[in-house]
A and B are shown apart, each in its own frame.
Chain A
Amino acid sequence: MSELSRQNLNRREFLSYLSVGWITFTAALAGMGSLVFRFTYPNVNFEPEMSFNAGRAFDYEKGVDERWKNGFGVWMYKAEGRLVALSNICTHLGCIPSWLPAESKFKCPCHGSGYYPNGINFEGPAPRPLERYKISLTPDGTILVDKTKVFRYEKGEWDHPDAYIEV
């Protein structure tokens, strides 16, 4: 007590020092907490690019093409003068369906959802058709598929100009 009185630290000053101390401590904890939170998000990951060059439109036959499935998770589907990029993620719970050429359908091994080649679901628990990715022509005439933008049938987005290219 004698030391406190020597420094003329009264109750009010003591409490303000205490407040500054606690606020500093809390701010430091919050700062460390947010750094740790940020630490859990890596700056680089080694997954495939979200957009890729898919060659030229005349590379594709009519129907389903599987050449980008393993690398980028995309089926190319060409029919009725349109080329579209189908997502290969099942709309039920997110597994990867298989393309069955003999039965001309996509079939999911997890719970049996089935889709027509154009992506419309017709059997199993899938609640909606496969999503389509943004597809466009680059100035040099090659095809660019951009997976960051999706077009959903149930929202009437499949006729959006970015959802297909004329072939």
Chain B
Amino acid sequence: MSSKGIATRIRETQVWKSIFRHGPPDNARNRAAVVAGNVFLHLHPIKLKKSGVQLGYTWCMGGLTFFIFLALTVTGVLLMFYYRPTAEYAYNDIIALKEHVPLGIMREIHRWGAHAMVITVWLHMFRVFMTGSYKPPREFNWGVGVILLVLTLLLSFTGYLLPWDQLAIWAITVGSNMAKATPFAGHGGPGAALAQIGDFVMVSDKNDVRFQLLAGRFVGEPALLRFYILHCVFIPLVVGVLIAVHFWRVRKDGGISAPL
């Protein structure tokens, strides 16, 4: 009894064994079981080539992006405790987050994190391009990554309206006017004039994609609510799913960055 160490005795308890089904990671088999038996780690490859994880080669940009995404999720959820997405309260709540709430830099962390994530996503893409890691069999994961890039930019775009100040409203006005020019689906775009029978206009400012995005003809309170839902629920859920696919495909397509 006294010959056993405390660590060994903990590892022999039923609680420990119910959580960790494998033995201590002191051999290759158990180390593989650590990764394969963990819902979070199993997305990762069980084995990595040492050359594949060199910092000079990967810049750790994908990992940094994921880390910032997690930080933005945590700070974003915290901000939601104080922010109300209505025309009456939104701007005052943003001020209150700075003036009346402890840790007034919470919103700044979220904002700077958002800027940093856009930068690291671009650098990650640049690294993948320069190391040729988009080539077969990784071309599908490049496609997933491009969608993730677009979603990152859309997260920034939808978040930009939420402070509800002049900069936000006019930036989103200018930005959402691009949706006007969507072929056939936007009332100012090519093809919209074709969908007109006499005086009956089929694609107008009250039924085109811009109206769908803003829930109105201009950036008003319905647009604020819609952008809030997109920013806090819809896009993060899609991003979360695609991140899982992205990581899993890294494992299935031969690990990060190593030449095949």
Interface residues in chain A, defined as those with a beta carbon under 8 Å from any beta carbon in chain B = 40-42, 45, 47, 93-95, 109-110, 148
Identify 11 new A-B residue pairs, CB closer than 8 A, beyond the known A42-B215, A94-B177. Answer: A40-B212, A45-B216, A45-B222, A47-B217, A47-B218, A47-B220, A93-B174, A94-B173, A95-B173, A95-B174, A109-B170
- Complex CA–CA separation, A109 to B173 (angstroms): 13
Are A110 and B215 in contact, CB atoms less than 8 angstroms apart?
no
Q: Which B residues are in CB contact (< 8 Å) with A93?
A: 173-174, 177
Mind listing 20 A-B residue pairs with CB under 8 Å? Answer: A40-B212, A40-B215, A41-B207, A41-B211, A41-B212, A42-B222, A45-B215, A45-B216, A45-B222, A47-B217, A47-B218, A47-B220, A93-B173, A93-B174, A93-B177, A94-B174, A94-B177, A95-B170, A95-B174, A110-B174
List the B residue with the shortest CB-CB distance to A149: B199
Across the interface, which residues of B come within 8 angstroms of A148, CB to CB? 204
Query: A109 to B174, alpha carbons, bound, how many Å?
Result: 13
Contacts of B217 in A (CB 8 A): 47
CB of B178, distance to nearest CB on chain A (Å): 9
Chain A residues with CB under 8 Å of B218's CB are 47
Residue of B nearest to A40 (CB): B212
Contacts of A94 in B (CB 8 A): 173-174, 177
Chain B residues positioned under 8 Å from A95 (CB to CB): 170, 173-174
A-B residue pair count with CB separations less than 8 angstroms: 27
CB contact under 8 A between A47 and B174, given known A41-B211, A42-B222? no
A45 to B170, CA, bound (A): 21
Q: Do residues A47 and B177 form an inter-chain contact, with CB atoms below 8 A?
A: no
Contacts of A47 in B (CB 8 A): 216-218, 220
CA distance A61 to B211 in the complex (A): 36
Cα separation A109 to B171 with both chains bound (whole Å): 12
* Contact code string B199-221 (vs A, CB < 8 Å = 1, else 0): 00000100100011001111010
CA distance A93 to B219 in the complex (A): 14
Q: What CA separation (Å) do A110 and B168 show in the bound complex?
A: 12
Residues on B with beta carbons closer than 8 Å to the beta carbon of A40: 212, 215
Within 8 A of A (CB), among B190-243: 204, 207, 211-212, 215-218, 220, 222
The distance in angstroms between the C-alpha atoms of A95 and B170, with both chains bound, is 6
Q: How far is the CA of A110 from the CA of B166 in the complex (A)?
A: 10
**A-contacting residues, B153-173, CB 8 Å:** 170, 173
The residue in chain A whose Cβ has the minimal distance to the Cβ of B211 is A41
Residues of A contacting B170 with CB < 8 Å? 95, 109-110
Q: How far is the CA of A95 from the CA of B219 in the complex (A)?
A: 11
Among residues of A, the one whose C-beta sits closest to the C-beta of B213 is A40
Please name the residue on chain B nearest to A93 by beta carbon.
B174
Determine the distance from Cα of A95 to Cα of B174 in the docked complex, in whole angstroms. Answer: 7
Which chain A positions have C-beta within 8 A of B215? 40, 42, 45
B204's closest neighbor in chain A, by CB? A148
Closest residue of A by beta carbon distance from B180: A94
Alpha-carbon distance A42/B206, docked complex (angstroms): 10
Report the separation of the CA atoms of residues A45 and B212 in the bound assembly, to the nearest whole angstrom. Answer: 12
Q: Could you tell me the distance in whole angstroms from the C-beta of A25 to the nearest C-beta in chain B?
A: 22
Q: Which residue of A lies closest to B214 (CB)?
A: A45
Q: CA of A45 to CA of B207 in the docked complex: distance in angstroms?
A: 12
Please, which residues of chain A bring their CB within 8 A of the CB of B216? 45, 47
Which residues of B lie under 8 Å from residue A45 when comparing CB positions?
Answer: 215-216, 222
**Whole-angstrom CA separation of A132 from B173 in the bound complex:** 20
Closest residue of A by beta carbon distance from B217: A47
Kindly list the 10 A-B residue pairs having the minimum CB-CB distance in the complex, ordered from nearest. A93-B174, A94-B177, A40-B212, A45-B216, A94-B173, A95-B170, A47-B216, A110-B170, A47-B217, A93-B177
Q: What residues of A have a CB within 8 angstroms of the CB of B220 in the complex? A: 47
> How far is A148 from B204 in the complex, measured between Cα atoms in Å?
9
Listed residue (A41, A45, A47, A95) with the most chain B CB atoms within 10 angstroms of its CB: A45
Instruction: Tell me the bound Cα distance from A41 to B210 in angstroms.
Output: 11
